[in-house]
Structure 1
Amino acid sequence: MPRGILPEVKLRAVKDYISGSGSYLSHASELGVGKTVFRRWVNKYKTFGESAFIRTGHNQAYPASFKKYVVETYLNGEGSYRELAVTYNIPSENTIRQWVLK
């Protein structure tokens, strides 16, 4: 998630989109992010509700066993990077990609 955009702004844009106001592209353009980023926000909101945008103020540390589980899930074809990131509330698909490469 781009850190320069306040969680309240992201939440308002996602709620507006879900209520039928505007498109992925219109909201993304208004906020200065890519359509894919905005779509990710919508998916996270649908999965986790308003808590999807709560900032913790630090990077999340994940136990090795959790990383291994997520990597094995990916390698078994049980989800894409995007799906796993949303399912396990991992902020970036790239985090999972790096775990797989290791």
Structure 2
Amino acid sequence: MAKYSEEFKLKVVLEYLQGTLGYPLMAKKYQIGAESQVRRWVRAYKEFGRKGLSVKKKKAIYSVQFKVDVLHFIKQTGASYQETAIQFKLNNPSLIANWNDKFLKEGVEGLQEKAKGRPSMSKKPQATPTQKEMSREEQLERENELLRLEVAYLNKLKAFRENPDAFLEKHKQRLPLNSKKKNSD
């Protein structure tokens, strides 16, 4: 559960925007841990409206490539987490900070989604129907293809670890900095 409700955040932001108190006094008045929290709420409200203050009901899942693009944007532009979150339409700058920490500790593997919880137990081990129907030759071809993919992945990972900047530059996608996306609401 979120520490502050959307209504509470909206009340604080609207009072701040009326101009009676600054960030430190607003934080003190409402017993908010840090004035930077109020600052983030105000900025999110100015950029995204009320949606910027809402707590997500469902956890969004982002691809590894998206996360790398976000981190690359920070490195190239020197933007803050807050500015980057606004650029990429995210309302949680601390999410980007977490990605950055994981990337620095574990590399690209740290950015991959990990299955949480305990795997379910199936009553019977079930082979997929395609494996049963494949001939021995087809199974070997499939295994060879999977091994080729694994080797290619490991080679890219090795190249990235040796020189992350060159790898990111080679594989970066152009970011539409000045284009306006249509809202999908």
TM-score by length of 2: 0.49
Q: Secondary structure at the match of 2:72?
A: helix
1:69 paired residue number: 69
1:89 paired residue number: 90
Seq. identity, %: 26
CA distance in 2, matches of 1:55, 1:100: 22
CA distance in 1, matches of 2:12, 2:91: 21
Q: Secondary structure at the match of 2:27?
A: helix
Structure 2 gap ranges (5+): 104-185
1:14 aligned to 2:17? no
1:49 aligned to 2:59? no
CA distance in 1, matches of 2:20, 2:76: 38
TM-score by length of 1: 0.82
The superposition leaves residues 48-74 of structure 1 with CA deviations (integer Å, 9 ceiling, x where unpaired) of 011112222243321222111101101
Change (3 A) 1:43 1:54: same
- Residue identity opposite 2:13 in structure 1: V
Give runs of ≥4 in structure 1 deviating > 6 Å: none
Q: Which has the larger radius of gyration?
A: 2
CA distance in 2, matches of 1:24, 1:54: 20
1:31 paired residue number: 30
Structure 1 gap ranges (5+): none
CA distance in 1, matches of 2:58, 2:93: 14
Aligned Cα root-mean-square deviation (Å): 1.9
Aligned length: 100
